[in-house]
Amino acid sequence: MSTRSFHILTFWLLTTTLASAQTLTKANYFGVRAGYLRASTSVTSSRSDMRFLGVAPLNSFYAGAFYQHTLSALLVYRVEINYQQKGIEYQLPNGDLVSRQKFYYASLTPLIGITPIKGFGLFVGPEANVSLGQNVRNNNAAPIEVGISSRLSYQYRWLGLEVGYFKSLNEFTFLDLGARFGFTNQTWQAGLSFVPGLLKKEGR
């Protein structure tokens, strides 16, 4: 075998192996996700001499589905549809709970991500949360909440771990109590993802 033929054969074997490895480790797939959500509220006031006290984070949950598609060896995109429960806890100065106001959302989150290491992904993109209602009537609630979302994920075969952060760009509600108090969300997520298609491939 000539040196040139050997180089061509070696190159072909390497590219075939890399392509095969990429196909196996970077498959396109549908999945489901669910976990813990912590909603924290920032409050602004229209008057510098008036503050709104007694607002605490609400511990809640999220659940949804996603599709992830490979663009290149390092880039992927992901689209999520989620249900989220957010809200506010009103507390007395001593920490006693007065009431909880819950807001329910259906969200659409398109994300672009990088996957520098097998199994790991870092994603960022916009998020739109459409209001589905509240547990307490609130005429001031915004119909849509928009913001920026990010994810850090690790996928091992069919099971994944995820943490996420969302920062809203608009108020989700407001109160007029002599001063206008605007409420803005930021949320943290921590949960699991499950890819049924990869489980079926593993069982073959």
Average confidence score pLDDT of the chain: 86
Give the helix, strand, coil percentages of the chain, each rounded to 5: 15, 60, 25
Q: Which residue has the higher pLDDT, 143 or 138?
A: 143
Under the banding of pLDDT at 50, 70 and 90, the label for residue 5 is low
The predicted pLDDT at position 197 comes to: 84
Q: How far is CA 128 from CA 28, 79, 86, 93, 174, in A?
A: 24, 12, 14, 34, 19
Asked whether the predicted pLDDT for residue 183 surpasses 90, the reply is yes
What does pTM read for this prediction? 0.81
Q: Dihedral sign for Cα 38, 190, 113, 203, please.
A: negative
